[in-house]
Amino acid sequence: MALPRAHQASFTPSEIEFIAGNEKIHIIPKAKFAKMNFIQGKIGPFQPPLSIEVPTWLALLMKKNDKCSIVCPDWLNIDYLKKRQEEEEKGEEFSKLPFHYMEISQMLLETASDDIPNAEQIRKLLKDLRETRQAKSRTGLTVLDDKWLGMNNLSLMEINEIRPFFTRAFNEMRKLNFDDRSNSQDASQTL
């Protein structure tokens, strides 16, 4: 599928989700398995009820096949998300969240909501957090500078959403700045 020119420098949401699938999370296997060999290395052995760290993609695959329970990440709980929401509303900076928090939370809530306490409340908090962060990033766009822009603690999905606009805006501002400099040089040469 051909993408519009403005989006060719961006990832699709499914590509970002694929990248996030390599993030490690903990699972509790439901059966004993020997070490598994993958391109990225060996994982295992799996010994119930011991927790083991695996890539998210493997955890989701095992969960779909009822081979494990997923241990909810520390950041995917009501208290943590409420605290981040308060930080977003009170501060100018973005609150610190995992780089792939949006993708991982979406995948876990979709596949393993039974392993996440208060899943529905967490969904709502994540939605509120996302809306607050989007509003904050739009506010940040109003103070664009052609030299530098600082927005720390954005997730990959958030960066990807605003990348096409930033690219066009920075290019236009550089053109305008270049035109201003060349006009001032022409004026100084005629004097």
Cα 26–117–96 angle (5° rounding)?
65
For the residues 126-154, what does the mean pLDDT come to? 79
The model carries a pTM of 0.80
Neighbours of 84 (CB within 10 A): 22
3 state SS of 23: coil
**What's the confidence (pLDDT) of residue 189?**
56
Q: Per-residue confidence at 185, pLDDT binned at 50, 70, 90?
A: low
Is 161 or 165 the better-scoring residue by pLDDT?
161
Is 109 or 3 the better-scoring residue by pLDDT?
109
Inform me whether the pLDDT recorded for 75 exceeds 70.
Answer: yes
Angle between helices 156-190 and 101-111 (to 10 degrees): 160
Inform me whether the pLDDT recorded for 20 exceeds 80.
Answer: yes
User: In the CATH scheme, what is the code of domain 9-190?
Assistant: 1.20.58.1020
How deeply is 112 buried, as exposed, middle or buried, from its count of CB atoms within 10 A (0-12, 13-18, 19+)?
A: buried
Integer-rounded Cα Rg, in Å, for the chain is 22
Please say whether the beta carbons of 130 and 122 come within 8 A: no
Domain boundaries, the chain: 9-190
Q: For residue 70, which phi and psi values (nearest 5 degrees)?
A: -95, 135
Model confidence pLDDT, tens digit, residues 48-72 = 999 999 999 999 999 999 999 999 9
Q: Give counts: helices (H), strands (E), the chain.
A: 6, 5
Percent of the chain at pLDDT exceeding 90: 63
Chain mean pLDDT for the chain: 86
Lowest-pLDDT choice from 150-154, 159-163, 164-168, 184-188: 184-188
Please say whether the beta carbons of 67 and 49 come within 8 A: no
Is 8 or 167 the better-scoring residue by pLDDT?
167
Please say whether the beta carbons of 58 and 43 come within 8 A: yes
Counting Cα atoms < 13 Å in the Cβ hemisphere of 188 gives 6
